Amino acid sequence: MSRLFSSLTLRDTTFRNRLWVAPMCQYSAVDGYAAEWHHVHLAQFASGGAGLVVTEATAVSSEGRISPEDTGIWDDARADAWRPIVDALHRRGAVAGIQLAHAGRKASTWSPFSGERGTVPADRGGWTTVAPSAVAFDGYATPRPLDADGIERVVADFAAAARRAVDVGFDVLEVHAAHGYLLHQFLSPLSNLRDDAYGGTLENRMRLLVRVVAAVREAAPAAVVFVRLSATDWAEGGWDVDDTVAASRAVRDAGADLIDVSSGGLVAHQRITTGPAYQAGFAARVRAEADVPVNAVGMIDDARLAEHLVASDQVDAVMAAREWLRDPHFALRAAGELGADAPWPPQYERARRR
- List, in sequence order, every residue forming a beta bridge with 177; answer none if it has no partner: 229
Buried b (16+ CB within 10 A) or exposed e, 181-219: bbbbbbbbbbbbebeeebbeeeebbbbbbbbbbbbbbeb
Work out whether 297 is an interface residue with ligand FMN (CB under 6 A).
Answer: yes
Chosen residue from 53, 173, 323, 329 binding ligand FMN by CB under 6 A:
323
Contact 132, 199 (CB under 8 A): yes
Whether 63 and 106 have beta carbons less than 8 Å apart is answered as no
Which amino acid is it at 288? A
Nearest approach in angstroms of CB 25 to ligand FMN is 4
Number of helical H runs and strand E runs in the chain: 11, 12
Residue 181 a catalytic site member: yes
Q: Under the criterion CB under 6 A, does residue 272 sit at the interface with ligand FMN? A: no
Kindly state whether residue 263 participates in binding ligand FMN, applying the rule CB under 6 A.
Answer: no
Query: Which of residues 3, 10, 18, 56 is near ligand FMN by CB under 6 A?
Result: 56
**Counting contacts by CB under 6 A, is residue 228 touching ligand FMN?**
yes
- Considering the complex, state which of residue 136 and residue 321 has its C-beta at the smaller distance from ligand FMN: 321
Among 212, 299, 306, 332, binds ligand FMN (CB under 6 A): 299
SS (H, E, C) 46-106: HHCCCCEEEEEEEECCHHHCCCCCCCECCCHHHHHCCHHHHHHHHHCCCEEEEEEECCHHH
Gap between the Cα atoms of 20 and 331, Å rounded? 8
Which listed range, 10-18, 23-31, 79-87, 216-224, lies at the site for ligand FMN (CB under 6 A)? Answer: 23-31
Which residue, 134 or 325, has its beta carbon nearer to ligand FMN? 325
Q: Segment contacting ligand FMN (CB under 6 A): 19-27, 85-93, 113-121, 150-158?
A: 19-27
Give me the 168-187 binding string for ligand FMN, x by CB under 6 A, dash otherwise.
--------x-xx--------
Instruction: Give catalytic residues, as residue numbers.
Output: 181
